Amino acid sequence: MKLCCETLKYRNYLEKFIEEKRVSTMLKTDGIKGNRELALVVLYEMLFGKGIQVFSGKIKASAKLIENAVRIQKAALEKTGITPDSCAEVSVSAQIPRYVRVNTLVTTLEDIIKHLQKEGWNVQPTLSPMITSEEFKEAFSKLDSKSVMIDPHVDNLCFASSR
């Protein structure tokens, strides 16, 4: 699972390798057979992982075929200032709100709001229940790391940024 997530995180960087003609020949080999996603995973392992020794058979042969081209392309990208971190995708989890349900058997939403404000949190006004998903995304994207909003649709539910 981690390999898949990390490959997706650096997908934009890895795609720059596949765009290079000598590296893209890997897609036509018996080991890859045009599977672009497999090619991305192989490239990730070559650039960030343990290298081609983790592969065997046809996939290893495909990786060996482009090993030099990958090194050349990596150097070329570094010369132009393109690094893995400059192309990395923002984590999906950073784009999802963190929801907190208030246990009304123990406390009230009002008490939680007072407590959050004492702790230095900025409690934003409640959004309209008629808000569109685009408006919600915009409002959520404006939340800073110390802001919280009350969910307009579900009673006793707050959400905050995951940043």
Q: What is the dihedral of CA 53, 55, 56, 59, to 10 degrees?
A: -130
Provide the number of structural domains found in the chain: 2
For 99-153, write each residue's pLDDT tens digit.
889 999 999 999 999 999 999 999 988 888 888 888 888 888 888 888 998 888 8
pLDDT at residue 162, as a whole number: 73
Domain boundary, last residue among 52, 87, 122: 87
Domain extent at residue 127: 92-160
- Compute CA distances 95 → 8, 89, 117, 125, whole Å: 15, 11, 24, 20
Which CATH number fits the domain that encloses residue 108? 3.30.70.1170
- Compute CA distances 61 → 31, 64, 74, 81, 120, whole Å: 7, 5, 20, 30, 58
Q: 67 Cβ partners below 8 Å, 6+ apart?
A: 46, 52
Query: What is the pTM for the complete model shown?
Result: 0.56
Cα angle 120, 93, 83; round to 5: 110
Residues 144 and 116 in one domain: yes
